[in-house]
């Protein structure tokens, strides 16, 4: 959520910055709400002052010669009238404050100056590439054909559809093992080499957690909501529960930065994506990710984004998967992000790079919604932390990349060397 003080002072500048992402900020609507808020607050303060003054009039009335009981009765009647009006004004002020909060909840984060102009993913800018796409002496298959041809039909979409409908998968045998190996491999690297603390979190969260990271109220249609006594949602990403671990906290300076890595399933309705990537594992309702989350001092968040992105890149490099790094343009930027790098892995069947990780800096946008703060030792006062996260990596898409990049002419799949210790030395899926 944006700083309301910044909106009041630099509204036009913020509106211009938000235009980079194609968002039109209704400053007139905000100013009108803020004026109503100020009027209601001032009236409430005036009534409180009148009430305080009236409560002191009993003694003055008695001194002027009025009977004690009559003086008390007169003041009590005055206080009753003031209390009724004050209750109305307080309720009115609260309603306006809530309306302003809802308005701010719908405003996306301001892009950094380094974010390029552009309308959509076609305008993202390539920053770097790593590795060379493999040349095959046969026509490479896509991951669906590769997986279904492996022993026992190790990648099975037909039975998944029988169980749950489209955009689900059943894995078995070597593919299921490879999928599990990827999770263990990623968690080990991030926790032992990159300094992240591994955490396990609930897969169901309340609406307040989703508001904290920016999925609610704007993106409710993308979520799976549970039916039951409590209002709970299946998590769309581990970002939600892990980032909210510090919601409402004041972190001591010597505990920063906080770095967490977490493996969870993720659940998304994929609203509005009909017809996109309907084949295979690219866009599923249920998939797995190993997430990276950081909470840092404000002055460190820009550098932290570079480091976090590098941690995700390290996984691709250890798996020897060619990829490129792009910076998202304003029009493709996520709602809560102020700057994002996407890592896109090479898929031979498509002859193109496809997203496998998205790494973002949110600055204080999420922290303000969650009231996640740290105590600045120089001032002794609490200030908002900066939050970041990224996929390190999306497990299903990494599996896709391995099946395609490591396929052989006989239909088998070579297991990347880095994963063989997690596969009990197995070198090939037959």
Q: Please indicate if the annotation marks 337 as binding a ligand.
A: no
Of 268, 345, 230, 253, nearest to 299 by C-alpha is 253
Q: Which residues in the chain show pLDDT less than 70?
A: 54-75, 272-275
| 192: annotated active-site residue | no
Total-model pTM: 0.92
> CA-to-CA distance for 331 and 19, rounded, in angstroms?
9
Any idea how long the chain is? 430
CATH class of 121-429: alpha beta
For 147, residues 6+ apart whose C-beta sits below 8 A from its C-beta are: 154, 155, 171, 175, 403
Q: Is residue 356 marked as binding?
A: yes
Give the per-residue pLDDT at 398: 98
Nearest to 389 by CA among 416, 358, 343: 358
Q: Please give the pLDDT value at position 74.
A: 66
Confirm or deny that 391 is annotated as ligand binding. Answer: yes
Q: Is 408 annotated as ligand-binding?
A: no
Q: Is 349 annotated as a binding residue?
A: no
pLDDT computed for residue 91 by the predictor: 86
270 annotated among ligand-binding-site residues: yes
pLDDT value of position 156: 95
Pick the CATH number of 26-106 from 3.10.350, 3.30.70, 1.10.287, 3.30.160: 1.10.287
Q: Is 50 annotated as a binding residue?
A: no
Helix (H) or strand (E) holding 249: none
For the stretch 47-71, pLDDT in tens is 777 777 766 665 665 666 665 666 6
- Residue 397: active-site member: yes
Residue 417 among the catalytic residues: no
Residue 85 has which token pair?
């009006």
CA torsion 279→283→289→293, rounded to 10°?
160
Following CA atoms 49, 55, 58, 63 in sequence, which dihedral angle do they give, to the nearest 10 degrees?
Answer: -40
**Catalytic option among 44, 336, 337, 358:** 358
Residue 238's CB is within 10 A of a number of other CB atoms, namely 27
Residue with the two structure tokens 């004004």: 89
Taking the CB of residue 356, how many other CB atoms lie within 10 A of it? 25
Q: What is the reported pLDDT for 43?
A: 83
Point out the catalytic residue in the list 167, 268, 363, 373.
268
pLDDT tens-digit series, residues 318-359: 999 999 999 999 999 999 999 999 999 999 999 999 999 999
Asked whether residue 358 is marked as a ligand-binding residue, the answer is: yes
Residue boundaries of the structural domains of the chain = 26-106, 121-429
pLDDT of residue 72: 66
Residue 369 is among the residues annotated as catalytic for this protein: no
CA distances from 145 to 175, 275, 294, 394, 419 (A): 13, 19, 38, 21, 22
239 annotated to a ligand binding site: yes
What CA–CA distances, in Å, run from 264 to 163, 168, 200, 240? 21, 16, 8, 11
CA gap 367, 298 in Å, rounded: 11
Q: Where are the beta strands (DSSP E) in 19-62?
A: none
Query: Is 238 marked as binding a ligand?
Result: yes
Out of 43, 51, 180, 283, which one is annotated catalytic?
283
Spatial distance between the Cα atoms of 14 and 104, rounded to a whole number of angstroms: 13
Does the annotation place 291 within a ligand binding site? Answer: yes
283 belongs to the catalytic site: yes
What is the CA 160 to chain-centroid distance, rounded?
28
């Amino acid at each position: 959520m944006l700083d309301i003080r910044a909106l009041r002072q630099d509204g036009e500048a913020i509106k211009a910055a938000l235009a980079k992402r194609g968002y039109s900020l209704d400053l007139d609507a905000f100013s009108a709400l803020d004026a109503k808020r100020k009027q209601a607050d001032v009236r409430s303060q005036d009534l409180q002052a009148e009430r305080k003054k009236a409560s002191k009039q009993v003694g003055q009335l008695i001194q002027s010669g009025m009977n004690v009981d009559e003086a008390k009765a007169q003041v009590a009647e005055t206080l009753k009238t003031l209390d009724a009006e004050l209750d109305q004004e307080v309720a009115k002020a609260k309603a306006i404050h809530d309306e302003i909060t809802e308005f701010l909840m719908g405003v996306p984060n301001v892009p950094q100056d380094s974010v390029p102009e552009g309308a959509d993913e076609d305008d993202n800018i390539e920053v770097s590439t790593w590795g060379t796409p493999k040349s095959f002496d046969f026509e490479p298959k896509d991951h669906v054909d590769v997986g279904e041809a492996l022993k026992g039909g190790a990648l099975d979409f037909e039975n998944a559809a029988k169980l749950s409908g489209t955009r689900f998968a059943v894995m078995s045998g070597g593919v299921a093992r490879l999928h599990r190996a990827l999770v263990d491999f990623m968690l080990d690297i991030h926790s032992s080499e990159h300094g992240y603390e591994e955490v396990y979190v609930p897969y169901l969260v309340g609406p307040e957690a989703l508001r904290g990271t920016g999925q609610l109220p704007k993106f409710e249609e993308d979520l799976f909501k549970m039916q039951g006594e409590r209002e709970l949602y299946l998590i769309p990403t581990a970002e939600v529960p892990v980032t909210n671990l510090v919601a409402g906290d004041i972190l001591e300076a010597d505990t920063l930065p906080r770095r967490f890595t977490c493996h969870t399933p993720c659940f998304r309705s994929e609203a509005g994506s009909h017809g996109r990537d309907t084949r295979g594992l690219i866009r599923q309702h249920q998939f797995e990710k190993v997430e990276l989350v950081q909470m840092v001092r404000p002055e460190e968040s820009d550098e932290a984004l570079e480091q976090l992105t590098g941690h995700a890149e390290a996984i691709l490099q250890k798996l020897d998967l060619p990829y490129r790094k792009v910076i998202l343009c304003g029009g493709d930027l996520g709602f809560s992000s102020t700057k994002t790098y996407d890592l896109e892995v090479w898929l031979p069947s498509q002859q193109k790079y496809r997203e496998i990780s998205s790494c973002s800096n949110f600055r204080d946008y999420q922290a303000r919604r969650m009231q996640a703060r740290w105590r600045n030792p120089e001032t002794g006062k609490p200030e908002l932390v900066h939050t970041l996260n990224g996929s390190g990596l999306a497990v299903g898409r990494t599996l896709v990349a391995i099946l395609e990049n490591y396929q052989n002419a006989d239909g088998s799949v070579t297991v990347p060397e880095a994963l063989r210790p997690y596969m009990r030395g197995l070198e090939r899926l037959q």
